Amino acid sequence: MAAEKSWPRFMEKKLTNTAKLNRGKAYLVGAGPGDPGLITVRGLEILKKAEVVIYDYLAGEKLLKYVPENAEFIYAGKKGGIKHTHTQDEINAMLIDRVKRGKKVVRLKGGDPFIFGRGGEELEELVKAGLPFEAVPGVTSASAAATFAGVPITHRRYTSSVAFITGHEDPDKENSNIAWDKISTGVGTLVFYMGIKNLESITTNLMKHGRNPKTPVAVVRWASRPNQKSVVGTLDTIAEIVRVNDIKPPALTIVGDVVKLRDTINWYEERPLFGKRILVTRTREQASDLVALLEENGANCLEFPTISILPPDSWQELDNALGRIGDFQWIVFTSINAIQSFFAHLHLKGLDSRVLANCKIASVGKVTDDSLRSYGLISDLVPEKFTGEGLAEAFEKQGVTGMDILIPRALKAREILPVRLKKAGARVTVVPVYQNKRPEGIHDTLRAKLANKDLDIVTFTSSSTVTNFIDMMDVKDKKELQELMHGVKIAAIGPVTARTIEENGLKVDIQPEKYTIPDMVDAIVDYMVAHGDG
């Protein structure tokens, strides 16, 4: 270890060069079954460094957010039975082309690349082309379906063997590659991939070759995803059950006595918010805590940002202020967004915190103060009450007559602080460093979801999320809004938000006693448990 520590830096460079780390390489990575938490640590590491990602329909689009934004994203398609976006030859050609161009190319595949994933074929092509690659396994969907539908695919009491079988092949086909006579009775648990279309002939064939018609069967669609759906029957009933419940691919069929255990250990689908479609309206940046907690309780969250944070139309006013920064005795930060935008612009101009060396700094509360510390600055003033009013009071107390005060903030914001500072005798310069805008392109999707009753609950965590949401819906009056929201439950984080909801003609169904995100989630769970499926 000591030798490693004293390894001279120039040697490190040499090693890097000889190892040719900048050479193109392909990474065949298993994405797992859909829940982004189920990719391997190695797979994620690779994704985060990808320069090109070629991903499949089943590879879980939620993982794409880990790929660097400037990477090339190629959707390879391949939805079973339906039109392919690219043929296998085209995919192979793209893979080889990008690796030859020196890129780190991730070939991201659903589940495990070597289990009905054609991973082997793609690697054979890379070998033929003489290109380097690494392969990373993934959680195959059979394993996920077993875990998330409460069906252990092996169990000492029931079976000691399992087979993964493609159901893509019509069992009636002559010269089948599958030894139906042997697998029907020779293997304990059978898991069919891609078998929904042929389910009836698969089950008939198994019974014909001696499997007991009363063998339990589970069919699991979208395993490990919040929209997972599963049905259970027996060999002689399951095809009809799947038809009646309109179960479509992608789904797996698990045949065997182990399916009986589902009654005891079906933990995933029994979580209190399982299958509930909940709309989360917050800024994109803030939504994650609420979504994580709701999902842990089983909810299927739809994140619709009602606010996007954008740069101001022009930086001129800030640049003017920076040009005479020495004139200001105080600079005031009233939000994290203001801090982040202010410093991002400063850094872009090749400047840093030292620009503020001669100003005193005020922040509106603990969160803004903490954020400033990450830029190496400690606030000279933080009010006791973390609001604009609180800050105005603190300034008034110490006197600001004749002082120059700079406030970088949102384009549109409450005027209370500048107004009171001016009244107290200060010269106040307000400059926009960001603006809130209604995100585009969401309106139609959202209205359609409400009209089709594709949502169970809408959550609001502040008055502005309510007004932005209503703005976004573009309704002509309260009545149209009420009609759209009919049947959808509304959750408000606290009384101020609730009042805004009610002022707009809607009814609040769920409201926690304490105004925090975890309390709001508890209140939603309690409500859903009390009201059953209704």
Choose among 112, 213, 121, 215: nearest CA to 159.
215
Q: Nearest approach, Cβ of 275 to ligand SAH (angstroms)?
A: 15
Query: Which residue lies nearer to ligand SAH by CB, 194 or 491?
Result: 194
Q: How many CB atoms lie within 10 A of CB 408?
A: 26
CB 411 within 8 A of CB 382: no
CB of 107 to ligand SAH, least distance (A): 12
Give, for 340, the enclosing helix (H) or strand (E).
helix 336-348
Give the range of 214-222, 235-243, 342-350, 369-377 binding ligand SAH by CB under 6 A: 214-222
Which residue among 64, 74, 115, 361 contacts ligand SAH (CB under 6 A)?
115
Least distance to ligand SAH, CB of residue 262, Å: 15
Considering only residues 216-235, where is the footprint of ligand SAH by CB under 6 A? 220-224
Tokens 């801090």, located at residue? 339
117 binds ligand SAH (CB under 6 A): yes
CA pseudo-torsion sign 266, 267, 272, 273: negative
Site residues (CB under 6 A) for ligand SAH, limited to 15-34: 33-34
Considering only the stretches 245-253, 303-311, 407-415, 446-454, report the one whose residues sit in contact with ligand SAH under the rule CB under 6 A. 245-253
Nearer to ligand SAH, 63 or 356 (CB): 63
Min dist. Cβ of residue 263 to ligand SAH (A)? 21
148 binding ligand SAH? (CB under 6 A): no
Question: What does the per-residue mask of binding to ligand SAH show for 399-438, with x meaning CB under 6 A?
Answer: ----------------------------------------
Least separation in angstroms between CB 203 and ligand SAH:
15
- Express the helix, strand and coil content of the chain in percent, nearest 5 each: 40, 20, 40
Tell me: does residue 112 bind ligand SAH (CB under 6 A): yes
- How many residues at the interface with ligand SAH, by CB under 6 A? 25
Select the residue interacting with ligand SAH from 27, 116, 328, 460 (CB under 6 A). 116
Q: Which residue has the tokens 């979208």?
A: 222
**Residue from 29, 105, 252, 301 in contact with ligand SAH (CB under 6 A):** 252
Among 24, 43, 110, 432, the residue binding ligand SAH under the rule CB under 6 A is 110
- 59-88 footprint of ligand SAH as x/- string (CB under 6 A): ---------------------x--------
CA distance 81 to 62: 23
Please say which residue, 33 or 226, places its beta carbon nearer to ligand SAH: 33
34 to 63: interface string for ligand SAH, x by CB under 6 A: x-----------------------x-----
Contacts with 40 (C-beta within 8 Å, 6 or more apart), sequence order: 30, 32, 136, 137, 138
Single-letter code of the amino acid located at 326: G
Degrees, nearest 5: CA angle 154-159-162? 60
Binding to ligand SAH in span 154-193, by CB under 6 A: 193
3-state secondary structure at position 498: helix
Q: What are residue 125's phi and psi, to 5 degrees?
A: -65, -40
**Which residues are within 8 A (CB) of 70 and not within 5 positions of it... i.e. 6 or more apart?**
none
Count Cβ neighbours within 10 Å for each residue of 333-345 and write b for 16 or more, e otherwise. bbbbbbbbbbbeb
Residue 251 binds to ligand SAH (criterion: CB under 6 A): yes
Q: Judged by CB under 6 A, does residue 279 bind ligand SAH?
A: no
| Selected range binding ligand SAH among 138-146, 151-159, 294-302, 382-390, rule: CB under 6 A | 138-146
What's the closest the beta carbon of residue 168 comes to ligand SAH, in angstroms?
8
| Beta strand residue intervals within 366-475, DSSP E | 404-410, 427-437, 457-460
Q: Does 141 bind ligand SAH (CB under 6 A)?
A: yes
**Which of 194, 273, 457, 490 touches ligand SAH (CB under 6 A)?**
194
Crossing angle of the two packed helices 478-485 and 443-451, in degrees rounded to 10: 60
Using CA atoms, how far residue 443 sits from 439, 449, 460, in Å, is 9, 10, 17
Say whether residue 122 binds ligand SAH (CB under 6 A): no
Residues 217/255, Cβ–Cβ less than 8 Å? yes
Nearest residue relative to ligand SAH (C-beta): 111
Q: Which residues are catalytic?
A: 56, 78, 194
∠ Cα 218 219 224 (to 5°) = 105
With respect to ligand SAH, which residue has the nearer C-beta, 115 or 346?
Answer: 115
Q: 99: Cβ–Cβ under 8 A, 6 or more apart, which residues? A: 24, 25, 26, 105, 126, 129, 131, 132, 133
- Segment near ligand SAH (CB under 6 A); pick from 107-115, 285-293, 317-325, 523-531: 107-115
Report residue 524: phi and psi, to 5°.
-65, -45
Q: How far is the CB of 373 from ligand SAH (least distance, A)?
A: 43
Which token pair is 531?
Answer: 């009201």
What are the residues binding ligand SAH (CB under 6 A)? 33-34, 58, 80, 109-112, 115-117, 140-141, 145, 193-194, 220-224, 249-252
